[in-house]
Amino acid sequence: MSKHVDKKEDSAAGTADLFGVQVNCEEAVHELYTYLDGELTEVRREEIRIHLDYCGPCGGAAEFEAELRKVIANRCKDRVPESLIRRVAEAIEEESRQDDAGH
């Protein structure tokens, strides 16, 4: 007795054999920031990477976000004035002394 296999199921199974676990666009977009931050397991990172490599819209979104992060990092290099750093350190030290004296 032959088993009927839906072409869509057969195609999906073949793709899964080639690429492993399938990630859909919703999953890829949902995990995009954790992917870019390097906070995924190696296995999950690879699953998302494969999706981004083969899905133009998701891959484009990932490239845009990665480039935006680079631009922000390069443009936002304001230095905190030394006087402010000193005042904050002194305030923390004073607060610590008051806590020590009170306990």
Summarised one tens digit per residue, pLDDT across range 16-54 is: 545 556 889 999 999 999 999 999 999 999 999 999 999
Cβ-defined contacts of 18-21 (< 8 Å, 24+): 19/50, 19/54, 20/46, 20/47, 20/50, 21/47
The residues spanned by each domain of the chain are: 13-102
Summarised one tens digit per residue, pLDDT across range 64-103 is: 999 999 998 888 777 888 998 999 999 999 888 887 777 6
pTM of the model: 0.55
| Candidate CATH numbers 3.40.50, 1.10.10, 1.10.1060, 1.10.3470; the one for domain 13-102 | 1.10.10
The pLDDT score that the predictor gives to residue 64 is 95
DSSP 21: S
CA distance 21 to 48: 10
